[in-house]
Amino acid sequence: MNKLTEVSASAAVGAVGERYVGHSVDRVDGRAKVTGEAKYSSDFTAADLAHGVVLNSSIARGLIQRIDTTKALTLPGVIAVFTHENRPDLAWYNHSHKNKDTPTAHFRPLADREIHYSGQPIALIVAEDAETARYASSLIEVQYAADSHQTSLLAARDNSNLSSETKAIAKKTPDSRGNAAEAYFSAPIKNRTEYHFSIEHHNPMAPHASTVIWREKCGITVHDKTQGPKQTHDFVCEAFEFPKSDVQVISPYVGGAFGLAIRPQYQLFLAVMAARELKRSVRVVLSREQMFTIGYRPEALQTISLAAERNGTLTSIMHDSIGNTSQLEDFEESVVKWSGLLYHCPNVELSYRLARLDLYTPTDMRAPGAATGVNAFEQAIDEMAYLVRMDPLEFRLKNYAERDAIENRDFTSKELKACYAQGAEHFGWNKRTGEPRSMRDGRELVGWGMATGIWEAFQQKASARATFSNDGILEIASAAADIGTGTYTILTQIAADTLGLPMSRITTKLGDSSLPPAPIEGGSSGAASFGSAVMMACEALRKEIANQAIKLKSSPFGRASVDDLAFSDEAIVLKSDHSLRLSLVDVLRCCGKQKMEAEASAEPNKASDKQYSSYAHSAVFVEVKVDEELGQVRVTRVVNAVAAGKILNPKTAKNQISGGVVWGISKALCEEGMLDNSAGRFMNHNFAEYHIPSNADIYDIDVIFVEEIDRKVNVLGVKGVGEIGIVGTSAAVANAIFHATGNRIYELPITIDKVL
Ligand code: MOS
């Protein structure tokens, strides 16, 4: 294992020829996606398929007094209606999951007559077609006994008669250092501000859907929208007590996930339940409106206090955040920790609290925690730069952190200074005039703002298998999901370079729970986790093929050792004399094998994990143009310079960063889950009223990948690029709006009414 790791480390930094890794190759799944050949979870079908439609509660809190399904059941084509009154008696409903990491254990669909939030599923109507099921759902009569509810975070925070449910609960955060309150009190320059960020809802292209294929006598095949086929498999087996071998989850394409498909959602449970009860195949698809009844980015109220010397040295950082959770569980994110490590500062105090509201549990959403905490903090940093009369970039450089002061250790690498320099250069930051309202373009005010981004480099244990067949094809297999980030492509690139094959000779199979186990694709950990596993599996296979080649009677390699051989152009060659070669197919033929395969697992290096901290960083520069008469803000230019270790594929990586930037613009200007607190429900649950940018709202986005060679973070030297694009972006937009208008706006989204 150690030996392999060493080999990998040298390969990672370019000792071995990199024909594909590091290059902008096209997506291997691109054709399937644009031709409609790629199948998503609601595309799978079966001859006996029935269709399920979910009915959701219309009250936020209380009890179902009566649910009458008679009319629905008499409608021709309706097969069954499941409610809490006739659902199967699963032991799972009574499991205690307190110490278990079982994602949806806290919410059990159709458990009983209690309502915990508006939109809670209360019935599944199954019919021969989806239209009949939908119509039947309107025929179900429900009587509720409603209780009073609380869905307003502001009210929960300000209400002097806090009920125990809505009282903010303190959560563990990094330790304080120094004495931040005292340093703040005695500082010459200080500023305290409260930020209010709205709830944001996930709106992936493909809505959540599960198709469960009933296989007589041999269990079920589940097609689910999931970031973890293996985790979905384990959830289904646990909830329904299926033997592990009776369930297979197949989910080759996801259709956008961004955190919402980390947890199994209720349509999966209901589809499996119906299939199991009816002994036939069932599909349940959520409507766009129902997508607003599952996870979302929590609302946040953050107070940030900063103090500095007159020369711009930061002396105190205090960051307190309250986020909402549900009555069902405590949903936590890392909101404030970043404020303790982004800048050098001796006095830091961080606190994080939750308030329980009568809403469904929030969930992960692109850069969970950092998108909330860092974006508020970077607005506060910009304001402090103005108070100490420094250029915002200069102020950040003055307070640059060389070490992780929370953990008191070095970084595996940190090229943030290069991000600042290259981003500023490319953007033309030195042409900026610092005074607010000092730049104009005709009738529009022009504002230039910037911010820093950060995200942790994660790796999780993952496995992969590499199989080379005598037809010259290599198959890579892992249960991992590709949520659209380019995972199929980068894994194919890694395999191709490790075994010296053209990418066209490789088939990469993902999204199947029966393949070697892999963790959730989330937290920007996919490239490090699955990539390392694929590299290890291919290296193990390379060793095996090389050993066979040496052992052959007719071997051209004489007494060479494995280390003397290289793999290139579908062959093994002697490093010292490339004319001595043997094709891989010939190796298999000569030893009479149809195929050779190797499986390997990769996991984080525990020793270096304790010794170093590892983060991806970015510097985001934004230009806005503001029409003061209309209050309209256009983000006309963005430069995002990212240091995220080795970039396996600049093209797919750039797609990730650009997507994050678009989301950051959207977060800054558009996205707002609006609650009617008297009804306790989201009112803008559609694309007409929940705003996201259209193509015409997005102008230039330039992504720069700063060179960052990291030999410590993992064998590939990668840090992940899924989340970092959104971190800092909304702050840079808000800071640019201040520069344009002279108005500080502390609430997101910054809608027209706030600009006017
Ligand atoms: Mo990401 S929020 O882990 O999909």
Which ligand 1 atom sits closest to the C-alpha of 366? 2
- For residue 722, the CA-to-ligand 1 centroid distance in Å is 8
Tell me which residue of 537, 568, 529, 542 sits closest to 716, measured CA to CA: 529
Q: Give 209's Cβ-side CA count (13 Å radius).
A: 24
Rounded Cα distance, 84 and 431, in Å:
65
Task: Give yes or no: 128 in active site.
Answer: no
pTM for the complete prediction?
Answer: 0.95
Quickly tell me which residue has 């029409």 as its tokens. Answer: 627
Which ligand 1 atom sits closest to the C-alpha of 525? 3
Q: Is 139 helix (H, G, I), strand (E, B) or coil?
A: coil
Tell me which residue of 101, 95, 28 sits closest to 520, measured CA to CA: 101
- For residue 526, the CA-to-ligand 1 centroid distance in Å is 10
Catalytic residue among 333, 378, 415, 723: 723
pLDDT at 171: 84
Which ligand 1 atom sits closest to the C-alpha of 257? 4
Which ligand 1 atom sits closest to the C-alpha of 262? 4
- For residue 333, the CA-to-ligand 1 centroid distance in Å is 12
Give residues (CB < 6 A) around ligand 1. 257-259, 364-366, 368, 522-523, 722
Q: Is 116 helix (H, G, I), strand (E, B) or coil?
A: coil
- For residue 260, the CA-to-ligand 1 centroid distance in Å is 8
Rounded Cα distance, 615 and 477, in Å:
29
CA distances from 694 to 19, 254, 294, 661, 666 (A): 37, 22, 23, 13, 10
DSSP single-letter state for residue 208: P
- For residue 440, the CA-to-ligand 1 centroid distance in Å is 38
pLDDT at 104: 56
- For residue 483, the CA-to-ligand 1 centroid distance in Å is 10
Q: What are phi and psi of 72, to 5 degrees?
A: -65, -40
Rounded Cα distance, 416 and 307, in Å:
23
- 200, 226, 723, best to mutate for ligand 1 pocket (most atoms within 8 Å of CB): 723
What residue ranges of the chain are covered by domains with CATH 3.30.365.10? 2-38+461-603, 388-458+609-755
- For residue 723, the CA-to-ligand 1 centroid distance in Å is 7
Tell me which residue of 410, 396, 424, 376 sits closest to 730, measured CA to CA: 376
Which ligand 1 atom sits closest to the C-alpha of 520? 3
pLDDT at 610: 80
- For residue 634, the CA-to-ligand 1 centroid distance in Å is 27
Residues in the chain predicted with pLDDT less than 50, given as ranges, are 1-16, 99, 160-162
- For residue 259, the CA-to-ligand 1 centroid distance in Å is 4
pLDDT at 159: 61
Q: Say how far residue 272 (Cα) sits from the centre of its chain.
A: 26
pLDDT at 103: 56
What letter represents residue 427's amino acid? F
Q: Is 691 helix (H, G, I), strand (E, B) or coil?
A: coil
Max Cα–Cα distance, the chain, nearest Å: 87
- 201, 226, 364, 372, best to mutate for ligand 1 pocket (most atoms within 8 Å of CB): 364
Which ligand 1 atom sits closest to the C-alpha of 367? 2
Please list the alpha-helical segments (H only) found in 195-299: 229-240, 266-278
- For residue 682, the CA-to-ligand 1 centroid distance in Å is 23
Q: What are phi and psi of 667, to 5 degrees?
A: -65, -40
Tell me which residue of 361, 228, 376, 341 sits closest to 295, measured CA to CA: 361
Rounded Cα distance, 541 and 78, in Å:
54
- For residue 522, the CA-to-ligand 1 centroid distance in Å is 4
Could you please state the CATH topology (level 3) that the domain comprising 2-38+461-603 is classified under: Aldehyde Oxidoreductase; domain 4 (3.30.365)
Does the domain spanning 388-458+609-755 belong to CATH 3.30.365.10?
yes
- For residue 605, the CA-to-ligand 1 centroid distance in Å is 22
Which ligand 1 atom sits closest to the C-alpha of 227? 4
- For residue 346, the CA-to-ligand 1 centroid distance in Å is 32
Across 62-183, the runs of DSSP E, i.e. the strands, are 62-68, 78-82, 114-115, 121-127, 141-146, 169-171
Tell me which residue of 261, 656, 365 sits closest to 489, measured CA to CA: 656
DSSP single-letter state for residue 340: G
